[in-house]
Amino acid sequence: MKKLTRSRKAQLFIIESFIAVSVMIIMVTALYEVQIATQPPIVPNYHEEVYTSLQSLDGINVLDNYIYSVINSLTENITYYQTIIEEGIYGSLPDNGEFSLYYENMTSGLEFAGSWINNHLSPPTEAIGIDYLISEVNGELIPCVIHLQLWLKGV
């Protein structure tokens, strides 16, 4: 009789232990789900990375040469420098990153023909805008101020 009650007590202990472990697993899972639900999403800051890329491109005269090519209508150079600028900006974005870029002559208000121009640009939703003003090309003041505007979208 004693052996039988010990066996039942052992079985009862095992069942209670299993239930306790199951309840703990459920509680930990629920706490984790609550933590994830209440945690704000992490939004990466591509603004600084793209701005640093633009500064680097400006530092090695890529932007200067591009603007000089656009002003003087050097079509072959425009394409070459556009490719370099695109690669520099895409290098600081994630794989699915897209951007829209255009230049505007702030003195006359004219946009550059032949560059990435959207004449009636409306900023896309969920976009980050970056402004970059250029007032000299190759160390010489240009007769206008160039406004480079970049919209990051889809990042």
Looking at per-residue confidence, does 70 or 144 come out higher? 70
Q: 78-86: long-range contacts at Cβ-Cβ below 8 A with a sequence spacing of 24 or more?
A: 78/114, 78/115, 82/115, 82/116, 84/57, 85/57
Tens of pLDDT, residue by residue over 6-21, are 678 878 888 888 899 9
* 3-class DSSP assignment, residue 12: helix
Provide the CA 138 distance to its chain's centre, in angstroms: 30
- Alpha-carbon distance 84 to 148, whole Å? 15
User: How confident is residue 24, by pLDDT bands cut at 50, 70 and 90?
Assistant: very high
Number of domains in the chain: 2
Residue 40 is predicted with a pLDDT of: 79
Tens of pLDDT, residue by residue over 101-110, are 666 666 665 5
Helix (H) or strand (E) holding 97: none
- Alpha-carbon distance 138 to 40, whole Å? 45
pTM of the predicted protein model: 0.55
Say whether both 69 and 21 belong to one domain: no
Task: Give residue 29's domain range.
Answer: 1-39
Say whether both 132 and 57 belong to one domain: yes
Say whether both 66 and 5 belong to one domain: no
Say whether both 35 and 99 belong to one domain: no
Say whether both 9 and 54 belong to one domain: no
User: How confident is residue 26, by pLDDT bands cut at 50, 70 and 90?
Assistant: very high
Say whether both 54 and 124 belong to one domain: yes
Residue 115 is predicted with a pLDDT of: 47
